Chain A
């Protein structure tokens, strides 16, 4: 009965092989080809723990140095001027100042829809696992426009919009 063993990893013709030693098979790697993996404990978990400590220390440090903003008690009869949305919505608010419907409804809905559909629209299988892959210049370009536009809108809304949403320069 011929019983040929399945090849675990292909032989490299440029290398010579010889039996060095026989060890007891108590490792998960026995009968597996070489791969580039490490045990999650400790290699991954220790890094995760260190990152958590770093995040905690930085947040604690910032919290000891800077107090969260707190203005006077809410007064429905006295509006602040300008009244600004939280910073992550201030870009939308900036768009609303041009057109309430287009900026406040159409743009956010389009953004969310295109984000949700993105993996089904971009079926180009190339360029996975590499930053700014040369195989997907168009995708990188289009997404960068979106990111930069959001940042610019937020910066405008947050820093150069004064009373009545008029442009003003903070240093003047």
Chain B
């Protein structure tokens, strides 16, 4: 719009177009330009390249294992945030919250089931994803560092699952964490200190529950999100998914 011709009426007429343009940061282009801009003009999708190699789309190459792991992480985040509305990390309340989820909250049991089964599935699929990357030799140069990020993400997945395991505060949770923290206590010289740091005490109690809760809902997911962003960004920077040299 030219400066001299400013009028309120014109502004209102152009309102939908102007809003659309300010959101999408672009004016219309050819269909192909629009399709490419749909990827690189979007903060969430720009981790993707605008074009992908057809080998990356072959289901029998990746089996979508990494994507499935990420989607499970999304489901876990969504169901986890909803569960936080109904959960108190206190030894007297935690188990009662579980019973309330089952008998009082509408669809509370389904919510808890989604979170629990997604967590188990995520551990399995992250491991399968690692196997795929190994068996296709995809950790070789220039993708070495992304493999390391991936190993860190596998460990994070295990820690996330382990810290979440204590939260229902039932016999299964309590004794599994007792066993797990006792394994950590076998570290030579500093074993007892490691367990004390983990549990905030010498045995599983209120301090351990609070520690596991904070790690589970805040610290570990934050680290995971950052590492996931680096992981995806590196795929692109390292030239997309691995593929045979001649293709």
Q: Are A63 and B39 CB-contacts (below 8 A) given A45-B45, A129-B244?
A: no
Within 8 A of A (CB), among B121-157: 121, 123, 131, 134-141, 143-144, 147-148, 151, 154-155
Residue A116 at the chain B interface, CB threshold 8 Å: yes
B interface: dominant SS: helix
A-side interface residues, number (CB < 8 Å): 74
Bound together, the chains give a CA A76 to CA B114 distance in angstroms of 28
- Residues 42-64 of B, flagged 1 when their CB comes within 8 A of A and 0 if not, give 00010011111111110001001
Bound together, the chains give a CA A1 to CA B72 distance in angstroms of 62
Bound together, the chains give a CA A47 to CA B113 distance in angstroms of 26
Within 8 A of B (CB), among A121-172: 122, 124-133, 136, 139-140, 143, 147
Contact of B51 among A38, A76, A87, A112 (CB under 8 A): A38
Bound together, the chains give a CA A139 to CA B74 distance in angstroms of 33
Q: Is the CB of B139 within 8 A of A84?
A: no
Q: Is the CB of A56 within 8 A of B75?
A: yes
Residue B186 at the chain A interface, CB threshold 8 Å: yes
Bound together, the chains give a CA A129 to CA B60 distance in angstroms of 12
Q: Are A68 and B137 CB-contacts (below 8 A) given A39-B50, A40-B52, A51-B71?
A: no
Q: Is the CB of B64 within 8 A of A51?
A: yes
Bound together, the chains give a CA A114 to CA B158 distance in angstroms of 17
Q: Is the CB of A88 within 8 A of B140?
A: no
- Distance in Å: Cβ of B55 to nearest Cβ of chain A: 7
Residue A79 at the chain B interface, CB threshold 8 Å: yes
Residue B193 at the chain A interface, CB threshold 8 Å: no
Residue A86 at the chain B interface, CB threshold 8 Å: yes
- Distance in Å: Cβ of A170 to nearest Cβ of chain B: 18
Residue B169 at the chain A interface, CB threshold 8 Å: yes
Contact of A43 among B52, B71, B91, B188 (CB under 8 A): B52
- Residues 110-121 of B, flagged 1 when their CB comes within 8 A of A and 0 if not, give 101111111011
Bound together, the chains give a CA A56 to CA B71 distance in angstroms of 8
Q: Is the CB of A37 within 8 A of B138?
A: no
Q: Which residues of A contact B61 (CB under 8 A)?
A: 131
Most chain A CB inside 10 Å of its own CB: which residue of B45, B67, B154, B172: B172
Q: Is the CB of A38 within 8 A of B110?
A: no
Q: Which residues of A contact B110 (CB under 8 A)?
A: 60, 63-64
- Distance in Å: Cβ of A66 to nearest Cβ of chain B: 7
- Residues 224-247 of B, flagged 1 when their CB comes within 8 A of A and 0 if not, give 000000000000000000111101
Q: Is the CB of B186 within 8 A of A83?
A: no
Q: Which residues of B contact A39 (CB under 8 A)?
A: 32, 35-36, 39, 50-51
Q: Is the CB of B140 within 8 A of A74?
A: no
Q: Is the CB of B179 within 8 A of A84?
A: yes
Residue A67 at the chain B interface, CB threshold 8 Å: yes
- Distance in Å: Cβ of A113 to nearest Cβ of chain B: 10
Q: Is the CB of A128 within 8 A of B176?
A: no
Q: Is the CB of B144 within 8 A of A40?
A: no
Residue B161 at the chain A interface, CB threshold 8 Å: yes
Most chain B CB inside 10 Å of its own CB: which residue of A52, A62, A74: A74
Residue B30 at the chain A interface, CB threshold 8 Å: yes
Q: Which residues of B contact A34 (CB under 8 A)?
A: none
Q: Are A36 and B186 CB-contacts (below 8 A) given A73-B170, A83-B179?
A: no
Q: Which residues of B contact A143 (CB under 8 A)?
A: 131, 134-135
Q: Which residues of B contact A26 (CB under 8 A)?
A: 30, 32-33
Residue B168 at the chain A interface, CB threshold 8 Å: yes
A89 (CB) vs chain B CBs: closest residue: B180
Q: Which 3 A-B pairs have the closest CB atoms?
A: A63-B113, A119-B144, A74-B174
A-B contact pairs, 28 of them (CB 8 A): A26-B33, A36-B247, A37-B51, A40-B39, A40-B49, A40-B50, A41-B38, A48-B67, A51-B64, A52-B67, A63-B110, A64-B113, A66-B113, A68-B116, A75-B174, A78-B171, A83-B175, A83-B176, A85-B183, A86-B176, A104-B183, A116-B148, A126-B137, A128-B138, A129-B138, A130-B136, A133-B137, A139-B137
